[in-house]
Amino acid sequence: MPTATATLSLSFAPSKKPHLSFCPFGATSITLTNFTSPPIRRPMTTSTVSIEKETVISERPHTFLRQTDSEDNGSIRSRFLSMILEKQESVCGALEALDGAGKFKEDAWTRPGGGGGISRVLQDGAVFEKAGVNISVVYGVMPPEAYRAAKASAADQKSGPVPFFAAGISSVLHPKNPFAPTLHFNYRYFETDAPKDTPGAPRQWWFGGGTDLTPAYIFEEDIKHFHSHRSERRGLGGIFFDDLNDYDQEMLLSFATECADSVVPAYIPILEKRKDTPFNESHKAWQQLRRGRYVEFNLVYDRGTTFGLKTGGRIESILMSLPLTARWEYDHKPEEGSEEWKLLDACMNPKEWI
């Protein structure tokens, strides 16, 4: 269980910007309710983002930052990159140690004008069917619709092309055992320069991210420890924030770092408890149906996926979040009162778990 220290946590209200409060729980033990309904997806357009094509490299570079950024070790860009690189290493190390058999495959890439990333994926391990932990740094120019996909509060803005910098870590972990929940987390930092048609406008910056748990079967003690689509929530809560710039950058960098630090202590104990639980074919079939929902949510509503596709990102890395296997059945409904029904009911009718 994360240590009970006074940590920054998040409250969320429909149609309002997230705000911070202090709470004596580990960062990922907060359950959010009152999510707004999933936004209507805007059609993909033919507009493109000016991002150079990536080049796969055999060794990690010294940095993914442009020289002007890398020379300032105290900048938020530089320190955020150092943080996500360290978290990728520590999370992958913890997952490999737990799995015991699988090893992460690593791909690194750069772009000529700066930026790049590292994808690390473990497949067909002893515990994980698929586990991915990616970091990326992007410099580019995006059209207004990509800006709106990246920043919720920009939905009604009609700006011209926007130069931007983005860095983040993103991970989705799909265990084999149906009783072990899927975990997703991502933490990111954005900066934009003035839109090209409004020179002199102030630079924008914000932090975003979250950690959430998506089980196929409910174990209340697991959810308490840890902490839409089709009128369902994707999972059973976690922490989520976006467009966060109401506090100074130092405080918010510390907040994002603490959230990332909480991933391993919040999730690994649950896996240790559930990874060897006996299961049968019906349990596995239900897990596959729920993974089908996960795929739907990620491809239709997930803002990170939408942004990656609209900005010409690396497809293998963007689709890393998808499970190896999933299942769809026409009009499937679990028997009322069954364990499967309890999960669906909790997804459709959010509750406070702590």
Handedness of CA 140, 133, 300, 189 (dihedral sign): negative
CATH architecture assignment, domain 7-348: 3-Layer(aba) Sandwich (3.40)
How far apart CA 158 and CA 143 sit, in angstroms, is 10
Which residues pair with residue 141 across a beta bridge?
50, 163
Question: What is the pTM for the complete model shown?
Answer: 0.78
Q: Dihedrals φ, ψ of 29, to 5°?
A: -100, 10
- Find the catalytic residue in 174, 184, 227, 283: 184
How far apart CA 116 and CA 60 sit, in angstroms, is 10
How far apart CA 182 and CA 161 sit, in angstroms, is 37
Give the neighbor-by-neighbor strand order of the sheet with 116-123: 55-57, 105-110, 116-123, 128-142, 162-175, 182-192, 204-214, 238-244
332 is catalytic: no
Domain map of the chain by residue range? 7-348
Series of mean pLDDT values for 10-residue runs along the chain (354 residues): 32 32 28 33 46 83 88 89 97 98 95 92 97 94 67 56 89 96 94 67 82 87 65 59 89 95 93 96 95 89 77 82 93 90 81 63
Q: What is the pLDDT of residue 14?
A: 30
DSSP 40-80: PPPPP-S---B-PPPEEESS--S-SS-HHHHT-TTSHHHHH
Q: What is the pLDDT of residue 347?
A: 78
Give which of 233, 255, 229 is closest to 244, Cα–Cα.
255
Q: Are 64 and 119 in contact (CB under 8 A)?
A: no
How far apart CA 207 and CA 201 sit, in angstroms, is 20
Q: What is the pLDDT of residue 220?
A: 81
Give which of 22, 237, 1 is closest to 9, Cα–Cα.
22
